[in-house]
Protein backbone atom coordinates (compact mmCIF):
# COMPACT_ATOMS: atom_id res chain seq x y z
CA UNK A 1 0.00 0.00 0.00
CA UNK A 2 1.38 3.42 -0.95
CA UNK A 3 -0.04 6.92 -0.53
CA UNK A 4 -0.87 8.92 -3.64
CA UNK A 5 0.91 12.27 -3.65
CA UNK A 6 0.54 13.47 -7.24
CA UNK A 7 -1.68 16.25 -8.61
CA UNK A 8 -4.15 13.81 -10.14
CA UNK A 9 -5.55 11.37 -7.58
CA UNK A 10 -7.74 8.46 -8.60
CA UNK A 11 -9.85 5.60 -7.34
CA UNK A 12 -10.55 2.35 -9.16
CA UNK A 13 -8.49 0.18 -11.48
CA UNK A 14 -5.62 1.52 -13.56
CA UNK A 15 -3.74 -1.18 -15.44
CA UNK A 16 -2.37 -3.48 -12.71
CA UNK A 17 -3.00 -1.04 -9.87
CA UNK A 18 -6.00 -0.06 -7.75
CA UNK A 19 -6.53 3.37 -6.27
CA UNK A 20 -8.80 3.92 -3.26
CA UNK A 21 -9.67 6.50 -0.64
CA UNK A 22 -9.49 6.01 3.12
CA UNK A 23 -10.11 8.69 5.78
CA UNK A 24 -9.71 11.44 3.25
CA UNK A 25 -6.35 10.19 1.90
CA UNK A 26 -5.72 8.44 -1.42
CA UNK A 27 -3.74 5.22 -1.63
CA UNK A 28 -2.64 2.78 -4.31
CA UNK A 29 -1.94 -0.92 -4.27
CA UNK A 30 -1.11 -3.62 -6.78
CA UNK A 31 -3.91 -5.87 -8.00
CA UNK A 32 -3.83 -9.45 -6.83
CA UNK A 33 -2.40 -11.77 -9.45
CA UNK A 34 -4.50 -14.77 -8.43
CA UNK A 35 -7.75 -15.21 -6.55
CA UNK A 36 -7.85 -18.13 -4.14
CA UNK A 37 -11.16 -19.91 -3.79
CA UNK A 38 -11.99 -22.06 -0.82
CA UNK A 39 -14.32 -25.04 -1.03
CA UNK A 40 -17.00 -22.87 0.61
CA UNK A 41 -16.71 -20.11 -1.99
CA UNK A 42 -16.78 -22.64 -4.83
CA UNK A 43 -19.88 -24.24 -3.34
CA UNK A 44 -21.55 -20.85 -2.97
CA UNK A 45 -20.72 -20.01 -6.60
CA UNK A 46 -22.27 -23.30 -7.79
CA UNK A 47 -25.39 -22.74 -5.70
CA UNK A 48 -25.77 -19.21 -7.01
CA UNK A 49 -25.33 -20.38 -10.62
CA UNK A 50 -27.93 -23.12 -10.24
CA UNK A 51 -30.38 -20.75 -8.54
CA UNK A 52 -29.90 -18.16 -11.29
CA UNK A 53 -30.66 -20.73 -14.00
CA UNK A 54 -33.81 -21.89 -12.22
CA UNK A 55 -34.88 -18.32 -11.52
CA UNK A 56 -34.46 -17.39 -15.18
CA UNK A 57 -36.62 -20.32 -16.26
CA UNK A 58 -39.34 -19.44 -13.75
CA UNK A 59 -39.37 -15.79 -14.81
CA UNK A 60 -39.43 -16.64 -18.51
CA UNK A 61 -42.30 -19.06 -17.91
CA UNK A 62 -44.45 -16.77 -15.77
CA UNK A 63 -43.64 -13.13 -16.61
CA UNK A 64 -45.15 -13.20 -20.16
CA UNK A 65 -48.42 -14.42 -18.63
CA UNK A 66 -48.64 -11.59 -16.10
CA UNK A 67 -50.58 -8.39 -16.70
CA UNK A 68 -48.36 -6.53 -14.25
CA UNK A 69 -44.65 -5.81 -14.13
CA UNK A 70 -42.78 -7.51 -11.26
CA UNK A 71 -41.02 -5.09 -8.94
CA UNK A 72 -37.34 -4.30 -9.48
CA UNK A 73 -36.19 -6.59 -6.66
CA UNK A 74 -37.89 -9.68 -8.08
CA UNK A 75 -34.80 -11.22 -9.71
CA UNK A 76 -32.61 -11.01 -6.60
CA UNK A 77 -35.40 -12.10 -4.25
CA UNK A 78 -36.25 -15.11 -6.40
CA UNK A 79 -32.60 -16.18 -6.64
CA UNK A 80 -32.23 -15.84 -2.88
CA UNK A 81 -35.37 -17.93 -2.31
CA UNK A 82 -34.07 -20.64 -4.67
CA UNK A 83 -30.68 -20.76 -2.94
CA UNK A 84 -32.46 -21.20 0.38
CA UNK A 85 -34.74 -23.88 -1.08
CA UNK A 86 -31.85 -25.87 -2.52
CA UNK A 87 -32.48 -28.89 -4.73
CA UNK A 88 -35.02 -30.65 -2.53
CA UNK A 89 -37.39 -27.97 -1.20
CA UNK A 90 -38.91 -26.28 -4.22
CA UNK A 91 -42.14 -26.00 -2.21
CA UNK A 92 -40.39 -23.27 -0.19
CA UNK A 93 -41.19 -20.93 -3.10
CA UNK A 94 -44.85 -20.98 -2.06
CA UNK A 95 -45.77 -17.47 -0.99
CA UNK A 96 -43.18 -15.76 -3.21
CA UNK A 97 -44.51 -12.40 -4.42
CA UNK A 98 -43.71 -10.99 -7.85
CA UNK A 99 -44.91 -7.68 -6.38
CA UNK A 100 -43.38 -7.56 -2.91
CA UNK A 101 -45.66 -4.74 -1.79
CA UNK A 102 -49.00 -6.57 -1.98
CA UNK A 103 -49.97 -10.20 -1.29
CA UNK A 104 -52.90 -12.02 -2.90
CA UNK A 105 -54.30 -12.61 0.59
CA UNK A 106 -55.01 -8.87 0.91
CA UNK A 107 -57.96 -9.17 -1.47
CA UNK A 108 -59.89 -11.93 0.30
CA UNK A 109 -61.38 -12.69 3.69
CA UNK A 110 -61.72 -16.35 2.74
CA UNK A 111 -58.62 -17.41 0.83
CA UNK A 112 -58.61 -19.30 -2.52
CA UNK A 113 -58.07 -23.04 -2.25
CA UNK A 114 -56.52 -25.36 -4.84
CA UNK A 115 -58.57 -28.53 -5.25
CA UNK A 116 -56.99 -31.96 -5.88
CA UNK A 117 -58.29 -31.71 -9.46
CA UNK A 118 -56.19 -28.60 -10.10
CA UNK A 119 -58.98 -26.00 -9.91
CA UNK A 120 -58.94 -22.84 -7.82
CA UNK A 121 -61.99 -22.53 -5.58
CA UNK A 122 -62.64 -18.95 -4.47
CA UNK A 123 -65.36 -19.14 -1.79
CA UNK A 124 -68.40 -16.86 -1.69
CA UNK A 125 -67.71 -13.90 0.59
CA UNK A 126 -68.02 -10.20 1.08
CA UNK A 127 -64.97 -8.91 -0.75
CA UNK A 128 -62.80 -6.30 0.87
CA UNK A 129 -63.01 -2.76 -0.62
CA UNK A 130 -60.01 -1.80 -2.73
CA UNK A 131 -60.03 1.98 -2.74
CA UNK A 132 -61.57 3.34 -5.93
CA UNK A 133 -61.47 -0.03 -7.72
CA UNK A 134 -64.72 -1.26 -9.24
CA UNK A 135 -63.50 -4.65 -10.51
CA UNK A 136 -61.02 -7.38 -9.65
CA UNK A 137 -59.39 -9.34 -12.47
CA UNK A 138 -58.23 -12.71 -11.17
CA UNK A 139 -55.93 -14.87 -13.30
CA UNK A 140 -54.85 -18.40 -12.40
CA UNK A 141 -51.54 -19.37 -14.02
CA UNK A 142 -50.04 -22.85 -14.15
CA UNK A 143 -46.65 -23.63 -15.67
CA UNK A 144 -44.66 -26.82 -16.02
CA UNK A 145 -40.88 -26.51 -16.12
CA UNK A 146 -38.16 -29.11 -16.61
CA UNK A 147 -35.20 -27.84 -14.64
CA UNK A 148 -33.31 -30.96 -15.71
CA UNK A 149 -33.65 -30.05 -19.38
CA UNK A 150 -33.70 -26.29 -18.70
CA UNK A 151 -36.91 -25.74 -20.62
CA UNK A 152 -40.48 -24.57 -20.19
CA UNK A 153 -42.81 -27.43 -21.07
CA UNK A 154 -46.31 -25.96 -20.97
CA UNK A 155 -48.51 -23.31 -19.39
CA UNK A 156 -52.16 -22.47 -18.88
CA UNK A 157 -54.16 -19.44 -17.74
CA UNK A 158 -57.76 -18.96 -16.62
CA UNK A 159 -59.26 -15.53 -15.94
CA UNK A 160 -62.39 -14.17 -14.27
CA UNK A 161 -63.55 -10.59 -13.67
CA UNK A 162 -65.36 -9.80 -10.42
CA UNK A 163 -67.67 -6.77 -10.04
CA UNK A 164 -67.06 -5.28 -6.61
CA UNK A 165 -70.48 -3.60 -6.67
CA UNK A 166 -72.29 -6.94 -6.78
CA UNK A 167 -72.49 -9.80 -4.26
CA UNK A 168 -69.76 -12.33 -4.85
CA UNK A 169 -71.13 -15.88 -4.87
CA UNK A 170 -67.79 -17.59 -5.39
CA UNK A 171 -66.16 -18.97 -8.52
CA UNK A 172 -64.01 -21.84 -9.71
CA UNK A 173 -61.10 -21.52 -12.13
CA UNK A 174 -60.09 -24.78 -13.81
CA UNK A 175 -56.32 -24.67 -14.22
CA UNK A 176 -55.39 -28.36 -14.38
CA UNK A 177 -52.18 -28.84 -16.38
CA UNK A 178 -51.05 -32.35 -17.15
CA UNK A 179 -47.51 -33.32 -18.08
CA UNK A 180 -44.02 -33.76 -16.71
CA UNK A 181 -41.78 -31.36 -14.88
CA UNK A 182 -42.24 -29.17 -11.83
CA UNK A 183 -45.67 -27.54 -11.58
CA UNK A 184 -46.03 -23.98 -10.32
CA UNK A 185 -49.41 -22.37 -9.61
CA UNK A 186 -49.60 -18.57 -9.55
CA UNK A 187 -52.55 -16.32 -8.75
CA UNK A 188 -52.56 -12.79 -10.10
CA UNK A 189 -54.97 -10.02 -9.17
CA UNK A 190 -55.15 -6.62 -10.79
CA UNK A 191 -57.81 -3.98 -10.20
CA UNK A 192 -59.58 -1.54 -12.46
CA UNK A 193 -61.84 1.47 -12.09
CA UNK A 194 -64.58 1.65 -14.71
CA UNK A 195 -62.43 -0.17 -17.26
CA UNK A 196 -59.14 1.59 -16.49
CA UNK A 197 -56.44 -0.57 -14.90
CA UNK A 198 -55.08 0.86 -11.64
CA UNK A 199 -51.30 0.90 -11.90
CA UNK A 200 -50.53 1.55 -8.24
CA UNK A 201 -48.37 -1.22 -6.80
CA UNK A 202 -50.84 -1.54 -3.92
CA UNK A 203 -53.58 -2.50 -6.39
CA UNK A 204 -51.98 -5.63 -7.89
CA UNK A 205 -50.54 -8.90 -6.70
CA UNK A 206 -49.05 -12.07 -8.15
CA UNK A 207 -47.95 -14.86 -5.82
CA UNK A 208 -46.63 -18.38 -6.26
CA UNK A 209 -49.40 -20.20 -4.40
CA UNK A 210 -48.56 -23.88 -4.84
CA UNK A 211 -45.58 -25.90 -6.09
CA UNK A 212 -45.42 -29.57 -7.06
CA UNK A 213 -41.80 -30.68 -7.62
CA UNK A 214 -40.96 -32.99 -10.50
CA UNK A 215 -40.60 -36.69 -9.76
CA UNK A 216 -36.86 -37.34 -9.57
CA UNK A 217 -36.73 -41.14 -9.58
CA UNK A 218 -34.44 -42.81 -12.10
CA UNK A 219 -37.36 -44.24 -14.06
CA UNK A 220 -39.05 -40.85 -14.36
CA UNK A 221 -35.81 -39.14 -15.38
CA UNK A 222 -35.27 -41.71 -18.11
CA UNK A 223 -38.75 -41.05 -19.46
CA UNK A 224 -38.40 -37.27 -19.49
CA UNK A 225 -35.32 -37.58 -21.65
CA UNK A 226 -37.29 -39.11 -24.52
CA UNK A 227 -38.74 -36.74 -27.07
CA UNK A 228 -42.06 -38.57 -27.11
CA UNK A 229 -42.84 -37.72 -23.49
CA UNK A 230 -41.79 -34.05 -23.53
CA UNK A 231 -43.95 -32.03 -25.94
CA UNK A 232 -43.02 -28.69 -27.44
CA UNK A 233 -43.95 -25.75 -25.25
CA UNK A 234 -47.74 -25.41 -25.15
CA UNK A 235 -49.89 -22.63 -23.69
CA UNK A 236 -53.62 -22.95 -23.12
CA UNK A 237 -55.84 -19.97 -22.34
CA UNK A 238 -59.31 -20.36 -20.90
CA UNK A 239 -61.82 -17.94 -19.42
* 157-173 per-position pLDDT tens digit: 999 999 999 999 999 99
Residue 98 near residue 70 (C-beta atoms within 8 A): yes
Position 34 scores a pLDDT of: 66
Dihedral angle sign, alpha carbons of residues 75, 61, 109, 82: negative
**pLDDT tens track of the chain, all 239 residues?**
688 777 777 788 887 788 888 877 888 888 776 667 777 777 778 888 889 999 999 999 999 999 999 999 999 999 999 999 988 899 999 999 999 999 999 999 999 999 999 999 999 999 989 999 999 999 999 999 999 999 999 999 999 999 999 999 999 999 999 998 999 999 999 999 999 999 888 899 999 999 999 876 654 544 444 333 334 456 666 65
Q: How many other CB atoms are found less than 10 A from the CB of residue 66?
A: 19
Strands 135-146 and 25-30, by their bridges, are: unpaired
Position 238 scores a pLDDT of: 60
Position 144 scores a pLDDT of: 97
Q: ∠ at Cα 71 (174, 181), nearest 5°?
A: 40
Strands 151-163 and 234-238, by their bridges, are: parallel
Position 225 scores a pLDDT of: 40
pLDDT tens, residue by residue, 87-137: 889 999 999 999 999 999 999 999 999 999 999 999 999 998 999 999 999
φ and ψ at 108, to 5 degrees?
A: -135, 145
Amino acid sequence: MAKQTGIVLFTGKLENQVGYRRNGNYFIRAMAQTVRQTSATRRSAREFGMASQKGRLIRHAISPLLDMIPDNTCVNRLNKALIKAGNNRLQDLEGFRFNRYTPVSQFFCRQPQLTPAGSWDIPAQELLPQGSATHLHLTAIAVRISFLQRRIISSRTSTVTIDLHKPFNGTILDNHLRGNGALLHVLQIITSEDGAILANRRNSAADIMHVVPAITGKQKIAKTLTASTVPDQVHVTST
